[in-house]
Structures are given as structure tokens and as C-alpha cells.
Amino acid sequence: MNSNSNEPNKLNIPDSTPDPEKLQGMEFVAKMRATADKLGIPFLGGFKDPKTGEIFINSNLNEDDPFYQQTRRKIRDFNPEQ
């Protein structure tokens, strides 16, 4: 109990769950990667959250791969409002 009140101490846990649209996009990309992994083919997919600008990438390629680097730049620089 808190010494200043009769209420039990409450643990405040911040809600860090992404919004439903972002979760849906993450799930979609993860499913595509799972299919690529199952078929043994290279995969690089992702999206840029239009609300925050955050980039989400899911890949089975090495981050040093030139294709990975080029695609990441394209996703980062993509502006759907242009």
C-alpha cells in the first residue's frame, strides 16, 4: 500500500503496442517472408509508416547485400504524397 493513500501501489506499464494498421502491415510482410523462406527464395519486403515515417523491413538477405541497401534507401525516400 502507498503510505499516502489507501489504494494499493499500481504499476504503470506504457502501451507500446503498434496501432492496428501498422500491425496489419507487419503481419502481411511477415507472411510474405515466411512463404519465401519456405520456397527457398530471397526476400526483402517492408513499408514506411505514413503516420510516423518509421521503416519496417523484414528480409532473409544480409544487410550488406547491395539489393538490400538499394531497396532500403528506396523505402526510406518514398513519399506517397508526391
Q: How far is CA 31 from CA 6, 42, 58, 73, in A?
A: 49, 14, 10, 23
Could you report the per-residue pLDDT of 7-22, keeping only the tens digit for each?
567 777 777 787 888 8
pLDDT at residue 2, rounded to an integer: 45
Q: Which of 38, 14, 2, 61 is nearest to 46 (CA)?
A: 61
Could you report the per-residue pLDDT of 26-53, keeping only the tens digit for each?
999 999 999 999 999 999 988 888 788 8
The residue to which cell 538477405 is assigned? 61
Its pTM stands at: 0.66
